[in-house]
Structure 1
Amino acid sequence: MHRTRSLRALRGALSAGSAGALRAALAGLVAAVTLGLAACSPAPSFPEPADRRDAGILMFQWTWDAIAAECPTLGEIGLDWVLTSPPQEHVVGPQWWVAYQPVSHRIESRLGSREQFAAMVESCGEAGVDIVADAVINHMSGQDDPGVGWAGSEYDHYSYPGLFAPEDFHRCTESPTGDIIDYRDRDEVQRCELVNLADLATGTDGVRERLRAYLDDLLSLGVAGFRIDAAKHMPPEDIAAIVDGLPEGTRIYQEVIRGQGEPIQPEEYAEAGPVWEFSYARTLTSMVESRFLNPDVRFGPEGRTLPSERAISFVDNHDTERNGETLSYKDGEAYALATAFLLAHPYGTPQLTSGYAFEGRDAGAPADGEGRVVDASCADAPRGPQPRYEPGTWVCPHNWDLVRGLLVFRAAVGDAPLTDATEFEARELRSVSGFGRGAYGFVAFNAGATSATATFGTSLVPGRYTDAVSGAVIEVDGDGRFTAEVPGLGVIALHVGAVER
C-alpha cells in the first residue's frame, strides 16, 4: 500500500513538472521500498539442536541400589551409560582393589546381590541409561594362600572349584619372578602375572567358553555391554574369540594403557570395540597445568591417538586419580575446567568419573561393620568442585552446574566439527581460548586464575544466547562475534538449544 501511494505521487510529480515534488516523491518511494524489504526479511535461521546422547560415567564403587536411585537424574541430565565396578564375587578385604580379584562368577559382592544388580539394570533402563559392567576376565585372585570369597566360595591361587583348575592358567617362564617386569616384552605382558594375579590361559577353548558364559549371564540380567579390564594383558585375538557370538550391539569397551615405546598399543584392539585413550587424559592434564587449552590440539591418528569413533576420552579414572597420572577431583576448579573441555570437544566418547574422596592409595569405599559398601548419594552434594573433600565423601561431578551445562551443550552440538579455533596474543589473554562447533555452538575457556574479557569470532547465527554455565544472556552480532568476561578457570558455552528464536 505504501509503494502504491508513492508511485501515484511520483506520477503526479512527473505530470506537474515540479523538481521539488519529484525529489520528494522519489524519496518517498525509496523509503517505502526499504520498509517493504525489511518487513519481508526472514528471521535468522538457527539450526535445530542435535539432541545427541553419548557420554557415560564411571560410578566407582557405587552400590547397585545407589546407582538405581541415581539413574533417573543421570538420564535427565543427558548421560547415556554407567560403568559399574566389577559385579562378581571377590576376595575379602577393605581395599578397593579386592573387586578386581575374582574367586567365582557369582553376582554377589560388597556392592550388592544378584537381585539388586538386576533391579539396578532395570531401573536404569527405564531412565534411558545403559549399564556397562566391568568384566575382569584376564585373571583371578592374587592371593597365595587358600581362602573363602565374599559369598562363601572356597578358592586357592590356581584352583576355583567348578570354574577353573590349575591347567587353566599360564605358567610364566618369560619373567624370573613370574610377574610382569618388562613391558617391552609382548609375551611377558600377556603370559605373566600382573602383580601376582593368577593369569588365565585365555587362548584355550575351555577358558574362553567359561568366560563367555559369565558375560552371557550378565547379558541375561540386561547389561548393555562390558569394560574389558586389563585387555592389554590378553592378545586381541583372545578377546575377539571370547566376545564372538555375543548379541549384535553389545558394547565392548577395552582398557589398554598406551605406553611409549611398548610393542602393545591400543590400535591392535580397536576392531573389537572402543578403547580408553590414556594419551587424551595425559594431554588434557598437560594443557590445564600449562594454563592454556589449545583449541588446535590434534587427536586421532594425526595426533598419534585412536580414531575418534574408536576412542573413549576421559579426564581421570579410578587408577589415574590414585597414581597421580592425571587430574582428579583433588584439583578442584582445574579438574572441572578439564571436564568442560572433555564434554565440549568432539573427540571420542567421553566418560566422567564419580567415586569417593580418599587418603592412601588402597583406601576402600565407606563400608558398614560387615564390609558392605554403604550407599552413595548426591542429593545434598555441592553444585561445584570443592577445594577439599573429607575422606569417604562421595564426589558427584555430574551434580555440578558446569558439567550439567556442558552436557546440554554437547547434546545440542551433536557431531558438528570443530571450527573457529581462537587464541590471543595479548599477554593478559594468553590463558583464554575457544572453539566452535559450526553454527551449533561455541565454547570459551580461561585457564588462568583471574577473569578476562575477550571478543570471539564464531560461526553462530546472530542472536541472544543464554550461557549454558552462568545463565547470562550474551549477544552475538551480525558478524558472529561476541564480547564477554570469562571467569578464571571458567567457561562460557553458547549453543542453539538456548537462543531466542
Structure 2
Amino acid sequence: MTHLPRTSARALTVLALLAATVAACSPHADPGAAPATDGSGHDVGVELFQWTWDAVAAECTDELGPAGYAWVLTSPPQEHVRGEQWWTAYQPVSYRVESRLGTREQYTAMVATCHGAGVEVWADAVVNHMTGTSTSTDVPGTGWAGSAYEHYAYPGLYDDADFHHCGLTPDDDIHDYDDAAQVQTCELVNLADLATDTPHVRDTVTAYLTDLLSLGVDGFRIDAAKHLPPADVAAIVAGLPDGTGIVQEVIRGSGEPVTPEQYTANGKVFEFAWGRDVEAVLAGSPDLALDLGSGAGYLPSDDAVVFVDNHDTERNGSTLSYRDGATYVLANVLMLAGTYGTPTVYSGYAFDDTDLGPAQDADGRVLDVTCGDAPGPDADLADDDWVCQHRWAAIAGMVGWRAVVGDAPVVDRWSQSDAVALGRGERGLVVVNAGDDELVTTLTTSLPDGRYCDVLASGCAEVTVHDGTVDVRVPPHTAQAWDVAARP
C-alpha cells in the first residue's frame, strides 16, 4: 500500500496550480521560478478541526490550494451522539455520513471542490469504539441523524457480541498503560470497545471506509489506533484499494509496551514526541529543533507525521498551542523548514473550557467558520472564535516556501544560543530568532545572487544576496524566509 506523500496525476495538477499561483501572487512573483517539480515539497497537511463541510470546501478554493497545502484532514463524518461538547463527534452511533458538520451530499461536494483546488481530503475515522455512557447501565439514545442506539447495541451494525468486555479491570476501562492487553481490549473512558479481531467488525469497518472512498476521500486518520492491535488495523486497511492514505494515532508513552513502531507496516504514524520536544527546545536552543527525530525514541522520518499541536494536545497541555503566540509560530516555522517527517498544521477554535464544542445554532448544527480579516498570534480571541492558524502569515508563508524548496538538502546551517538559520540547497533560506533582542548578522547562503522578498511578511520586505552572503535584521521572536520564487 502506498502512503503519503505520493505523486499521482492529481499531484501533477497540484504542481501546475501552485506554479500558476506563485507566478501570479506577491511575494511569489517571479515567473521564472516555481515549486519543486517532483512534488517533494507538496506534502503539508492541515487539520481543520470541527469545520463544516461547506467551510472546508470554501477554504480549499480560497486559501489551502493557493497556499500550497497538499491535504486537509476533516473531523469525523459519521453520525454521532447528540451534545454540545467537541468530543461528541468521536462517539459514533452509525456510519451514516450525517453529522452536525453537514450532510452526505455536502461532504461529497466538499471533496470534489477540494480536489478541484488541488487539495486531497482525508477523513478522521473513529473505528476503535462506539459510544460511552455516563452510568454503568445502558441508556438508550438517538443519534444526530435519528439512529437508535444503546451502549452495546447499534441496530443494523453491532450487538453485544461485537464488543470487548475485557474483564481485566473492575469497570472494564483501561487503568494501566503498561498492560498491552488493557490498552487494546479494555474500554477507553467507557467507550464501547469494538471487537476488531472478529470478521464481522472488521468487514463492517472496512465497508464504512470504502463508502467514504466512494465519495472521493483520499485517506484516513485512524483515531485511537493505539487501542487496536496492529494486526487488527492491518486487517481493516487490507481491504482498501492500493494508494489509500493511512496515518495512525499512536501516542508514544515512556516505557509503554504499545509503541508507534509496531504500526508502521500499516501506514504512517503520528510522532507525538516531536510536538512535545519542540517546546523544550525552543526554550533553550532552537538549533536543536532541526535534529529532532534523529535520535532514539522517534520513528524513521519516512514513517512519521509531525505536528506542533492537535485537537487533543492543545487541550491537555502536552504541547504548545495558539495561546503561546510567537513561540507557537516559530515551532511551526521550524517544523516546515526541516526535513523530518510529513508536517501537519492545526487549525481550531478558542476555548477556556476544554470540553467546549464549536459554535452551534439552536439545533446543534456547527456554524460556518469566520476567520476575520487578519488572523494571527496577536488576535484577541473569545470562546468559540476561530483561530485559523493555517492562515497566519508566517505559517502559510512557510507552506509555500516548503513547496518551493522540495527535498533540497539542508545547507548553510548557522546558529547561536537563541537563533538558527538554514538553507535548502540553492532554493531557500530561513532564519528564526527566538531571542529577546533583534538579530543583526550576515549569513552565508547558497541562494543565487539577487534580490528576494521575505515570504513570511506582508508585501515584499526585501534583502539582497551578494557574493553568497546576505545581511539580515530579524526582530525578536520572529522568523524570516526567502526562496527562489519570491523576487521583487
Instruction: Give the 3-state SS of the residue equivalent to 2:295 in structure 1.
Output: helix
Q: Which residues of 2 match residues 227-246 of structure 1 at below 5 A? A: 227-246=221-240
Quick check: which has more Rg, 1 or 2?
1
Q: Which residues of 2 match residues 60-139 of structure 1 at below 5 A? A: 60-72=49-61, 73-139=63-129
Report if aligned partners of 2:290, 2:334 keep a CA contact under 8 Å in 1.
no
Amino acid at match of 2:303: R
Work out whether 1:371 is the aligned partner of 2:364: yes
Distance 2:418 2:379 in 1: 21
1:483 to 471, 476, 487: 471
- Residue aligning to 1:458: 445
Distance 2:278 2:411 in 1: 19
- Residue aligning to 2:24: none
Instruction: Quote how far apart the aligned CAs of 1:451 are.
Output: 1.7
- Residue aligning to 1:417: 409
5+ residue gaps in structure 2?
1-31
Report if aligned partners of 2:348, 2:389 keep a CA contact under 8 Å in 1.
no
Instruction: Give the 3-state SS of the residue equivalent to 1:76 in structure 2.
Output: helix
Report if aligned partners of 1:47, 1:440 keep a CA contact under 8 Å in 2.
no
Report if aligned partners of 1:54, 1:79 keep a CA contact under 8 Å in 2.
yes
- Residue aligning to 1:441: 428
Q: Which residues of 2 match residues 321-360 of structure 1 at below 5 A? A: 321-360=314-353
Amino acid at match of 1:179: D
Instruction: Quote how far apart the aligned CAs of 1:460 are.
Output: 2.5
1:409-432 residue CA offsets vs partner (Å, 9 max, x unmatched): 1011101122222112xxxxx312
Distance 1:206 1:48 in 2: 50
Q: Which residues of 2 match residues 123-272 of structure 1 at below 5 A? A: 123-143=113-133, 144-272=138-266
Once the two structures are overlaid, the 10-residue window that deviates more, 338-347 or 257-266, is: 338-347
Distance 1:298 1:431 in 2: 15
Report if aligned partners of 1:467, 1:493 keep a CA contact under 8 Å in 2.
yes
Amino acid at match of 1:122: A
Distance 2:436 2:84 in 1: 39
Amino acid at match of 1:233: H
Amino acid at match of 1:258: R
Amino acid at match of 1:226: F
TM-score by length of 1: 0.86
Instruction: Quote how far apart the aligned CAs of 1:387 are.
Output: 5.2
Distance 1:375 1:253 in 2: 27
Instruction: Quote how far apart the aligned CAs of 1:49 are.
Output: 4.5
Distance 2:173 2:93 in 1: 20
Amino acid at match of 1:76: P
Q: Which residues of 2 match residues 271-286 of structure 1 at below 5 A? A: 271-286=265-280
Distance 1:65 1:369 in 2: 19
Distance 1:221 1:413 in 2: 33
Work out whether 1:56 is the aligned partner of 2:69: no
Once the two structures are overlaid, the 10-residue window that deviates more, 450-459 or 213-222, is: 450-459
- Residue aligning to 2:386: 394
User: What is the RMSD of the two structures over their aligned residues, measured on CA atoms?
Assistant: 1.6
Once the two structures are overlaid, the 10-residue window that deviates more, 60-69 or 445-454, is: 445-454
Instruction: Quote how far apart the aligned CAs of 1:92 are.
Output: 0.7
Instruction: Quote how far apart the aligned CAs of 1:177 are.
Output: 2.5
Distance 2:119 2:442 in 1: 39
TM-score by length of 2: 0.89
**After the TM superposition, which segments of 4 or more aligned residues of structure 1 sit over 6 Å from their partners?**
none
Distance 1:125 1:377 in 2: 22
Report if aligned partners of 1:381, 1:396 keep a CA contact under 8 Å in 2.
no
Distance 1:467 1:415 in 2: 20
Report if aligned partners of 1:49, 1:496 keep a CA contact under 8 Å in 2.
no
Instruction: Give the 3-state SS of the residue equivalent to 1:271 in structure 2.
Output: helix
Report if aligned partners of 1:91, 1:149 keep a CA contact under 8 Å in 2.
yes
Alpha-carbon distance change, 303 to 413 in structure 1, aligned in 2, over 3 angstroms:
farther
Report if aligned partners of 1:132, 1:226 keep a CA contact under 8 Å in 2.
yes
Instruction: Quote how far apart the aligned CAs of 1:301 are.
Output: 5.3
Alignment length, in residue pairs? 447
5+ residue gaps in structure 1?
1-45, 425-429
Structure of higher RCO (CA pairs closer than 8 Å, 6+ residues apart): 2
Amino acid at match of 2:401: F
